[in-house]
Structures are given as C-alpha cells and as structure tokens.
Amino acid sequence: MWRDIVVSQKTEWDLLTARPYVARSSAYCLAAGHLVRVIIGPRRAGKSSYAVHLAQSESARCGYLNFDDERLTGAVDTDALLAALDAVYEKPEVLLLDEIQNLPNWELWANRLQRSGRRLVITGSNAHLLGSELATHLTGRHLTIPLLPFSFPEFLAASKKAKESTSSAKVENCRDYAQMGGFPEVVLGEVAGPTYLRTLCSAMIHKDIVMRHRLRAPHALDALAMCMLATPGGQYSFRKLRTATSCRSVHTLKKYTGYLEQAFLIFTVPRFSYKPREQSAAPKKSYVIDNGFVSAAGFHSSSNHGRLLENLVAVALHRKQLRGDVQVFYWQDPQHAEVDFVVFQNRAVTQLIQVCADSRARDVHKREVRGLLKASQELGCRDLLLLTETEEGEATETWHGFSATVRRQPLWQWLMDNG
C-alpha cells in the first residue's frame, strides 16, 4: 500500500522537476547545513517548485512525498512509508515532504528523521501550526523560509516583462500587478485568474480552516473572509464585523480572524504605540495576502484604486516582517490624522510611508503630508516617504510650524527595491 502511494506520487515529482523554474528572488534562504528547511506560505504560491529547486541544488538524489493526499490523512505507518521512499527513490539523500501539516504528529516524525541524519525540505500552508510545533520539537534545528506569491520583480520576470525599461511601461506593469496579483499559475497564464482565485480561496477556507478545525457552521467564516478580502487596508473592530457577518459571538469572530491569518489569506497590522496595552486595545487594519484575491472578490471600484496599491506595499512589508527584518504598524492620532505604515527596526521607528495613487490634488496632498508630519513630530522619525504611481522628488513641507523633507517615489520603483 505505502509503496503504491509513493510510486503514484512519483509522477507528480517528475512533473515538478520538468517544469521551468522561475527564480524566487524574494525567498530568503541562508546556508542551512543539516537544518530542516521549512517553507511556509499560502497554497499555490510556488512552495513545491521552490522546494524542488532547493532540494535539487543540494543533491541529485531526492525523494518526494505529498501529504495533500486523502490516503495519507489517517493513521500512517511512517516506518513503512520511509521504507517505501527508500525503495522507490533508492535511498535519497534529501527528502521533500509537501504539505506536511496534514500528517498527524508530523513534527515528531520530522524530528526523528532529522536526528537520524536525514536532510529534510518541508512545506506547509499553516503559519501557526508550523510555528508552534517547530518551536516545540525542532528548536534550533530548522530554518523557516516564508514564500508568498510573486513579488513585483518576480512578476516581471515570469511574465517576460522584466526588460521593459521605460517608466511608463513600469507604471502599466505595476497596474497589471495590482489587479492580477502574483499567484504563479495566474501570472504564467496557465489558468483564468478570477475564476481560479475564487476556487482557490474556497479551497483554502475549506481545507485549511473548516476541515482542520472541524467547523460545523462555516457561514460566518465565509462572510468574514469576503468582508476582509473586499476591503484591504480597512480598520476593523469585532463589533462592526459582528454586524457585517451576522455572527453574534465576538469570541468566534476573533477565532475565525486568527484562522484566516493562519491560512495565509489575510494578515493584520496593529496601530503603533509605545504602550503595549494601548496597542492591543486599538483597532487593527487587515490586508490581503495577494491582490488577485481582492479582484476576485469583486473589488473593482476605480475610486479605490489607491487601496490596491496600498495592499501591494503592505504585502511587501509583510514579507520583510515574516523574515524577521522589521515590524510593521500604522499610526493614527486622536484627530484621525493617519500614516499607512510605520516601519520599526532595531527598537526605533525608521521610516513612515504613505501610499496613494496621485497626491497632486490639493486635498489629497494636504491629508497625506499632514499625517506624515504629525507622525514625524510625535515619533521622532525624519525618513518620510510618499509612494504614488508616477511622482518623484522631494520637498520641504510645513505643518503648524514643523518642517520636514518628504520624499516622493513611484510605487513600481519602490517595489523593485523591496521585492
């Protein structure tokens, strides 16, 4: 039985190894030695392809097993399974274990394999489970590699647009990226984007949340997901979500929001405060892990194009946060002046970022610059950045006697530097 499963999955391995590989410049992988490499991220973001590339870069003798297989979701004889892998792949030096979170007590098996000298590359689509279980059982013996859908530079490379050098071409490419997102199969033209992404979103909710947590009535979860996918960058409170989803329980909504984050559908950004209690009590903002999900959810209003651009910046910063490089917040004062992103690094606020499609309208300019200057004065940060589609340069701005230099940079250019 176990040998039959391994043999049947070898066809999948052959297809993965035969596919052209799009280099993932956004993946952050240090030399790992014999550490377990754990690649985490949303489904269909390219984890398996990257894992194949990583495994083959270390040895030509690799073995493959995909646990997103109904035959491997119950009781599994891991010793017999390992023996089958050794027989079919002739004692591979590197084992690639795909979507391993579907195997009960997987972390114990991975720990035993690692201690016996096996070199492992693991993928998984659940951030919390992987993080907590790895911390318990593989402390100090694993390297986590976050992998999200294509960054903007990867999008350009995959869609064969990387050599288009004019600024106007880059602006158009960035608009396409803001609408299409970065899921590899969509960018490569292998599937019809909106239909595929709606199906993928449903599968992520069903497989990674409903089935995993055995939810009996997932209607509130579906309503919550659609609400958050349609409003990237929106502040939320559980009181408002209770009205939008018809779910009466705040406890349930908190739990469901956590599930959506664990499944890599959304992520949240807290309000900045030096006081932990204030930070915890303040409303958070939610963003979507890929802009394609926003478009697939029906978010097409041209008047809100700026929110799609803001979501691109949020994802790029979130990628850095997953790697442990920065912490990301937003800022708001009692008069509701706001800054989209506060970048916190080395125990200090290092940059304040505003995002809008076009700041040249007088009221927009006033609002965006006012937020930057007020936050700059309160937080003591002088690196003030305004990202728009086309504007570039810097100018000294003044608000009620306080002056600071605000830099303007085209979004596509910033995404190229932060991909």
Whether the pTM exceeds 0.85: the reply is yes
Cα 123 to chain centroid distance, Å, stands at: 14
> Residue 165: what pLDDT?
78
pLDDT above 70 as % of the chain:
95
Q: Are residues 104 and 226 in the same domain?
A: no
Same domain for 134 and 161, yes or no, is no
pLDDT in tens, 359-371: 888 888 899 999 9
What amino acid occupies position 127? A
Q: How many angstroms separate the CA atoms of 148 and 184, rounded? A: 10
- Please say whether the beta carbons of 64 and 182 come within 8 A: no
The span from the CA of 266 to the CA of 106, in Å, is 25
Report the pLDDT value the prediction gives residue 296, as an integer from 0 to 100.
Answer: 86
Do the Cβ atoms of 338 and 234 come closer than 8 Å? no
pLDDT (0 to 100) of residue 161: 83
- Model confidence at 123, pLDDT cuts 50, 70, 90, reads very high
**Pairwise CA distance, residues 406 & 359, whole Å:** 12
Query: What one-character-per-residue DSSP string does 407-418 give?
Result: EEEEHHHHHHHT
Q: Is the pLDDT of residue 129 over 60?
A: no
Nearest to 332 by CA among 381, 280, 272: 272
| Average pLDDT rounded to a whole number, residues 31-44 | 84
Q: Which of 36-45, 127-136, 159-168, 287-296 has the lowest mean pLDDT?
A: 127-136
Tokens of residue 214, six digits? 């055995």
Mean pLDDT of 61-73: 92
With cut-offs at 50, 70 and 90, classify the pLDDT of residue 200.
Answer: very high
* Rounded average pLDDT over 348-358: 96
Q: How confident is the model at residue 186 (pLDDT cuts 50, 70, 90)?
A: very high
CA-to-CA dists, residue 375 to 58, 82, 165, 247, 371, angstroms: 48, 57, 35, 36, 6
Average the pLDDT over 67-80 and give the result.
89
Question: Are 188 and 320 in a shared domain?
Answer: yes
Task: Tell me: do 20 and 54 sit in the same domain.
Answer: yes
Give me the phi and psi of 88, to 5 degrees please.
-75, -40
pLDDT at residue 4, rounded to an integer = 95
The least confident of 125-129, 163-167, 385-389, 413-417 is: 125-129
Residue 135 pLDDT class (50, 70, 90 cuts): low
For residues 307 and 221, state if they share a domain.
yes
**Residues 27 and 74 reside in one and the same domain:** yes
CATH of the domain at 78: 3.40.50.300
Same domain assignment for residues 36 and 126: yes
Query: How many domains does the structure of the chain reveal?
Result: 2
Question: 193 and 302 share a domain?
Answer: yes
In percent, how much of the chain has pLDDT > 90? 66
Residue 131 pLDDT greater than 80, yes or no: no
pLDDT of amino acid 34: 78
Residues 310 and 191 in one domain: yes
- Of 114, 129, 147, the one marking the end of a domain is 147
Tell me: do 198 and 102 sit in the same domain: no
Average of per-residue pLDDT across 66-78: 89
Contact between 59 and 42 under an 8 Å Cβ cutoff? The reply is no
Q: What is the mean pLDDT of residues 57-86?
A: 92
> Which carries the bigger pLDDT value, residue 241 or residue 338?
338
68 or 340, which is more confident: 340
Structure tokens at 325: 């490089």
- The enclosing H or E element of 299 equals none
Q: What is the pLDDT of residues 238-255, one digit of tens each?
A: 888 888 888 888 999 999
Rounded distance between C-alpha atoms, residue 388 and residue 411, angstroms:
6
pLDDT bracket for residue 314 (50, 70, 90)? very high
In sequence order, what DSSP letters do the residues of 148-187 get, joined into one string? PSP-HHHHHHHTT-TT--SHHHHHHHHHHHHHH---HHHH
Highest mean pLDDT among 7-21, 30-44, 342-356: 342-356
pLDDT above 80: residue 358:
yes
Question: What size, in residues, is the chain?
Answer: 419
Mean pLDDT of 112-118: 90
- Do 170 and 58 share a domain, yes or no? no
DSSP 210-257: IIHHT-S-THHHHHHHHHHHHSTTEEE-HHHHHHHHT---HHHHHHHH
The answer, yes or no, to whether residue 157 has pLDDT greater than 70, is yes
* pLDDT of res. 58: 87
The whole-number pLDDT of residue 246 equals: 83
Tell me: pLDDT of 137 over 70.
no
> Of 85, 117, 147, which residue constitutes the final position of a domain?
147
Confidence class for position 130, pLDDT limits 50, 70, 90: low
Nearest residue to 131 (alpha-carbon basis) of 116, 113, 145: 145
Q: Are 268 and 261 in contact (CB under 8 A)?
A: yes
Distances (CA, A) of 275 to 272, 278, 346: 9, 5, 17
CA distance 274 to 243: 31
Asked whether residue 14 falls in the same domain as residue 64, the answer is: yes
Give the end of a domain, one of 102, 131, 147. Answer: 147
Using CA atoms, how far apart are residues 416 and 162, in angstroms rounded to an integer?
Answer: 11
Of the candidates 210, 373, 184, 154, the residue with the CA atom closest to the CA atom of residue 292? 184
pLDDT at site 301: 54
pLDDT at residue 163, as a whole number: 78
Task: Label residues 308-325 b or e (16+ Cβ within 10 Å = b).
Answer: bbbbbbbbbbbbbbbeee
- Computed over every residue of the chain, the mean pLDDT equals 90
If you write DSSP's letter for every residue of 333-394 in order, what string do you get?
A: -TT--EEEEEEEETTEEEEEEEE-S---SHHHHHHHHHHHHHHHHHHT---EEEEESS--EE
Tell me the residue range of the domain where 83 lies. 2-147
